[in-house]
Amino acid sequence: MLFESVGIGIVISLLMTEWVGIAAGGIVVPGYFAYMLHEPFRVVATLAVSIIVLLLVKLITSFTIIYGRRLLVLSILLGYIFGTLTRIFPPIQVSGYLLDLHVVGYVIPGLVAYWMQRQGAVRTISALLLAAVLTRCIVIIFHLGNAQF
């Protein structure tokens, strides 16, 4: 499923960028989000880490000159570090439900933060969630409703 989700997500992300002019948080991000939509706490945790990385990058860029590739690498590195910190803590049991707050992927929070820096948080999150839902729907249709995520 991940293979199909990432592939279809790349196409959706490319079409969205070309037609609407808004990037969905990186070329592979919608596919990973589509694959993890059945675990909403992980999606929320990933967006929260992305916002933390965005704020930290804005703080760092307020006293240093970082742009282009260095900004991308800094965002991905910080996203990786904070994402790894979420993996240290075990899932929490709440009312019989396992609350898993691990982020999606390793570089995904950094990519989302980078695009938030470039085009704004609301635009990026909106485009990302739209592309992820469209990708998930297409994967489900592709498997005739028998998609097991």
Task: Tell me what pLDDT residue 85 has.
Answer: 93
Q: Which domain does 120 fall in, by range?
A: 2-142
Task: Average the pLDDT over 127-136 and give the result.
Answer: 96
Domain count, the chain: 1
- φ/ψ (deg, to 5) at 94: -130, 115
In a domain, 88, yes or no: yes
Beta strand segments in 1-149, E: 92-94, 97-99
**The pTM is what?**
0.90
pLDDT value, residue 6: 94
Q: Is residue 149 part of a domain?
A: no
Q: pLDDT per residue over 98-107, tens digit each?
A: 788 899 999 9
Q: Is residue 147 part of a domain?
A: no
Q: State mean pLDDT over 114-131.
A: 96
Other CB atoms within 10 A of residue 80 CB: 19
The letter for the amino acid at 113 is A
In a domain, 49, yes or no: yes
How much is the pLDDT for 99? 80
Residue 57 is assigned to a structural domain of this protein: yes
Tell me whether residue 148 is in a domain.
no
Beta-carbon contacts of 66 under 8 Å, excluding residues fewer than 6 positions away, are: 57, 60, 74
Length of the chain: 149
Q: CA 2: distance to chain centroid?
A: 14
